[in-house]
Chains A and B, each alone.
Chain A
């Protein structure tokens, strides 16, 4: 089912999303990938403040190409989510509501998604030119020294994603492939 959702969003909205929904996101999201996750994780373990608000927010696993003159951002597709698995449960337990990436998640992450009523979306891997068009503003807000891996605050409009793991733990990567196999 196609849905349009504004982000950040509350748990009440998260639970209305189901694995398999095609969703267009509009609003504010944050980019962070490997190095930014490691740094946030270490900072949180030290009991210090991290440079982004987690509550109700969505993190996009993204390291874009540099923007040309006049562009908001360069190519901007998702990176493989499983590399963030080690850090994700802590972020979810501290209020993060959604993640956009591609590929499988660990059992620990799925458990944390269910425990916290969160959601994991997939964007289409390798469609970075297309996805960049839905990003209307982008600003590096932290970890500038990490280059492409810094944290960006981004305004998106109708950013297309698919619900892969919903707040009940349904996993589209498993069900969709099974369903399709039945048609063969």
Chain B
């Protein structure tokens, strides 16, 4: 049994919220810079140039990369041999988010009731997905999610007979529909299998995977590459104003499913695909 105090969780979550909003991960930053070199669309190239400059200014002046600093989404893996001391872990995470969004001058974008729409003024509550895992560590992954792209996400309940072709068509349809609204170049997170909500969570999780890695499953990796190629032939391009860089990556996660179903979720993310992970 290892004891972790919630003060440590609060401090780490706070720092991670700020870090995620000012610096992209190395793979994301590199993907954008590489795309700028390769882009052949005139406006597309100009826009990618602005995005590179934007990352530089954000880092040097500690200004958030994007004004939509997102809703804080967390994936938390709790080792079953960890004892949490202090307060309730969910309260601690929300306290970390509260402090991070205040001290980091991040935007408070959460409303308490989806219909009454009054701002909570501290960007809480966060959306937290817990997993109980073996071991005595606590892994926290934070992914602030902007809603321009979130709004363009979709769930498809396909039939088993739709197969791989059906999955690919669903992804392409979602990307076409999103067009300029998801702030391309995008990263496309896809969840295949599970049930209705599992597919959506997988899709969100897929966005947090390193964009250079690819799936560990050969047939899925092949699908990721094929989809990326097809998406980039759509011509939507940076800002939706024409170009070869519509997506920087397609990441697919899968899970066993029911004999009668083939759920597919497509979670869109803009080029400001933020995620920071720490292990306590």
Chain A residues with a Cβ under 8 A of chain B: 20, 22, 35, 62-68, 71, 74-77, 79-80, 82, 102-104, 122, 124-130, 132-133, 146-148, 160, 162, 164, 172-173, 176-181, 183-184
Contacts and interface: CB of A to CB of B under 8 A. Distances in A.
A173 B151 contact: no
**Top 7 nearest A-B pairs by Cβ distance?**
A176-B242, A125-B183, A180-B242, A103-B181, A129-B58, A130-B54, A75-B67
A167 to B, nearest CB: 19
7 contacts: A65-B107, A75-B66, A80-B181, A102-B240, A129-B65, A176-B242, A180-B41
Interface string B49-71: 01101110110011111111100
Given A124-B47, A132-B63, A181-B233, 20 more contacts: A65-B64, A66-B105, A67-B105, A74-B67, A75-B63, A79-B68, A102-B240, A125-B183, A126-B183, A128-B68, A129-B57, A129-B58, A130-B54, A147-B121, A162-B241, A172-B241, A173-B241, A176-B242, A177-B235, A177-B242
A64 B235 contact: no
B54 A104 contact: no
Interface residues of B, number: 50
Interface string B216-258: 0000000000000000011111011111100000000000000
Contacts of B183: 102, 125-126
Contact of B65 (A20, A67, A79, A128): A128
B178 to A, nearest CB: 9
A78 B83 CA distance: 44
Given A125-B183, A176-B237, A63 B46 contact: no
A22 B45 CA distance: 13
A76 B121 CA distance: 18
Main secondary structure of the interface of B (DSSP, over half): loop
B53 A65 contact: no
Contacts, number: 158
A65 to B, nearest CB: 4
A62 to B, nearest CB: 7
A76 B47 contact: no
Task: Indicate the member of B44, B237, B241 with the most A CB atoms within 10 Å.
Answer: B241
Contacts of A179: 242
A177 B65 contact: no
Contacts of A35: 117
B30 interface: no
Task: Indicate the member of A82, A162, A173, A178 with the most B CB atoms within 10 Å.
Answer: A173
Task: Indicate the member of A22, A130, A172 with the most B CB atoms within 10 Å.
Answer: A130
